[in-house]
A = this chain, B = another copy of it.
């Protein structure tokens, strides 16, 4: 059975040969780190993935969380893992030293997320959410909130969550109705309902801390009246004891996949005794929450790439070992069958999987580098890197999520009937992967964010910066004969995207906002293909340069495989931009014409 879920060789290639993550260690904030310390972190994460997380992958799916006597019971390995994460410093690894952290770059943290998620996605979510919630308190909370909540969260004793969605609101946060009424005692009384909250109650921790979007009574309507609160399951008293805070689990969802992590419905303040503490200023909650959401979106993209990675190595192993049929040039039935990896169509499916996995990883890690530079890079470049990160975040969330589903599906297809059965992990990966286009903002929401906000912000400056980044890679690519044809193809695809962007921006300037945004999901798809082609060109360049340096035989195979996978992406995936661009330039508002009554029958 498939044991490999990630390629260490590929991780190091991306970090050190493509993205030059070592350069980050020249920044003051990261100065105590070097390649050795990064490698040590990665090796330890891999060991935890292999020894602790991967073995319980199927069991956590089959023995899904249960709701009994008002408590949510999860697999025992959740507590073990949270404890290890706390003791090993994994939850606060990116925090500054003064909060007990290790000041690791986001890029390395993303690699940790990747490794844990590839080993066992559901398990990886518990510490990941805790990190995000604790970071939000650390960034915007009072000293008292920080003192009270951050240490037990970083120690893995208390779970963190992000509590946004409500039954009537879904993606429309403007319509949330959970209320906060101020008291004289420093806290607010909270009442309302939250749904679809991951890890929002379970017995793998001693307490749960919700970072919750709430409306203070009398707040302005819509998103401008949303505040951020800390709402614990058990509230700490002055004497250090924990008392129930009137946060009840109202139900637990039975899900297609991602079953190792409970998603619950919460009832707040039904007894009138739910206390919440304001984080930062009133009515600025959404802005604060976006810090956690943006980071969670990269994590979701990484989670999607991670599952796709595990699925890829499982189907690769199968394709190498399963004999069936013969080469098309050898139909002699008396000869033994060949492993199915010999069939061109199976290789095509494997190349698709690998192109999605490695392309997604590269794009997400690139965002990690931009985030590190936006916060800790040279002052004069921070704004540029922040804009690049803003622009690419919806893409780094959506491309892996959407393509990850297709990639896992191709992996399942390689196994044929066995892929459809639970003897192999593919069917679980297929179910698990489908959450990613939904949570942390659906793909549709990401499309609106990209085109309606990110592309047009600051007069389109983020896109200008990104095109400059791509142009630099293309310039380099044109100098290398193997890479040159692909540099040309990227340039063409870039031009195609630029033409579409100009066409759509024209509609925006003319005030035709509905037609401007009608196909924003398709725009996101087009944008994602170009962004991943850019990352593939970077990978191809790195491989080409490494090959020229005369590597070992084993390394040469790795680099040649990289080059061929890059070619696969340019020959099979990038041409999809042709049809997308053709459609997007029409911008005829066809879907707006399709009035609801015309869906009759």
Give the interface of A toward B (CB within 8 A): 7-10, 165, 168-172, 174-175, 195-196, 221-223, 253-258, 263, 316, 320, 322-329, 331-334, 337, 339, 341-348, 350-351, 354, 405, 409, 412-413, 416-417, 419-423, 427, 430-431, 434-435, 437-439, 442-444, 447-448, 513-514, 517-522, 554, 557-558, 560-561, 564-565, 567-568, 571-572, 575-580, 582-583, 586, 588-594, 596-601
Contact = CB atoms under 8 A, between A and B. Distances in A.
A96 B423 CA distance: 44
B590 A564 contact: yes
B420 A256 contact: yes
14 contacts: A10-B601, A170-B417, A196-B417, A255-B421, A257-B420, A328-B514, A350-B599, A409-B434, A413-B442, A419-B438, A561-B599, A568-B590, A571-B590, A572-B590
Contact of A579 (B427, B577, B589, B598): B577
Given A341-B596, A514-B344, A590-B567, A405 B416 contact: no
Contacts of A434: 409, 412, 420, 430
Nearest to A578: B578
A596 B342 contact: yes
B420 A514 contact: no
B417 A165 contact: yes
B600 A557 contact: yes
A405 B409 CA distance: 10
Contacts of A341: 596, 599
B586 A571 contact: yes
A344 B591 contact: yes
B196 A254 contact: no
Nearest to A435: B420
Nearest to A322: B170
B430 A256 contact: yes
- Decide if the interface of chain A is mainly helix, strand, loop or mixed: helix
Most buried by B among A165, A263, A572: A572
Contact of A431 (B165, B256, B322, B339): B256
A414 to B, nearest CB: 9
A558 B599 CA distance: 7
B558 A348 contact: no
Contact of A600 (B263, B409, B554): B554
Contacts of A223: 333
A417 B517 CA distance: 23
Nearest to A511: B329
Contacts of A343: 444
Contact of A594 (B329, B334, B564, B580): B564
A442 B586 CA distance: 36
Contacts of A565: 594
A279 B223 CA distance: 72
Contacts of A561: 594, 598-601
A591 B588 CA distance: 38
A568 B593 CA distance: 11
Closest 5 pairs between A and B when the two form their complex, measured CB to CB: A222-B333, A575-B579, A561-B598, A344-B518, A172-B325
A588 B600 contact: no
Contact of A520 (B7, B345, B513, B521): B345
A461 B119 CA distance: 52
A559 to B, nearest CB: 9
A333 B215 CA distance: 13
A416 B438 contact: yes
Contacts of A316: 599
Contacts of A412: 434
Given A196-B417, A254-B422, A420-B256, A333 B600 contact: no
B438 A420 contact: yes
Contact of A438 (B168, B327, B328, B417): B417
Contacts of A572: 522, 583, 590
Given A175-B337, A328-B517, A554-B600, 18 more contacts: A171-B325, A175-B333, A221-B334, A255-B420, A256-B420, A344-B517, A344-B518, A347-B594, A351-B591, A413-B443, A557-B597, A560-B598, A565-B594, A568-B590, A568-B594, A572-B583, A575-B579, A578-B578
A525 to B, nearest CB: 11
A413 B521 CA distance: 13
Most buried by B among A195, A320, A554, A599: A599
Contacts of A324: 168-172, 175
A409 B221 CA distance: 34
A217 B196 CA distance: 61
